[in-house]
Homo-oligomer: A and B are copies of this chain.
Amino acid sequence: MVVDELAQADVDRIFHALADATRRDIVRRTLSVESSVSELARAYDMSFAAVQKHVAVLEGAGLVTKHSRGRERMVRGNAAQIARARALLTQLEDLWRARFSRLDEVLADPPPPPRP
């Protein structure tokens, strides 16, 4: 039984969020050390607002969470969501492996025909 089913739209959001080098780097950073939005903004060669948007995309995908610390908003990477994405890829790979077991069935000696 799968506890946490992800709707297709959720999966879309996760992979889309990961399809940008800046966003992947933000995830990387905040998985190691949580940081404020402005700390992140200082790390990249773009405006504060641009970084803020990237964080919002990541948050929408569940890849990071935010919580207040004083006037700052701390960003923290969410490893669990990454694990879900990884599980989806593993499922795909399993489909590929299943291909060979089906091939084995074909190559194996066919079962005797049913008695009439």
Which residues of A are in contact with B by a Cβ distance under 8 Å?
A: 8, 11-16, 18-21, 24, 27-28, 31-33, 77, 79, 82-83, 85-86, 89-90, 92-93, 95-99
Question: CB-CB < 8 A to A11: which residues of B?
Answer: 19, 21, 24
Number of copies: 2
Main secondary structure of the interface of A (DSSP, over half): helix
Given contacts A14-B19, A15-B16, 20 further A-B contacts (CB under 8 A): A8-B21, A11-B19, A11-B21, A12-B19, A15-B15, A15-B19, A31-B96, A32-B95, A32-B96, A32-B99, A33-B99, A77-B96, A79-B92, A82-B92, A82-B96, A83-B89, A83-B93, A86-B90, A86-B93, A89-B89
Q: Assess the A15–B12 pair: CB atoms within 8 A.
A: no
Contacts of A27 in B (CB 8 A): 92
Residues of B within 8 A of A21 (CB): 8, 11-12
> A18 is contacted by which of B15, B79, B83, B98 (Cβ under 8 Å)?
B15
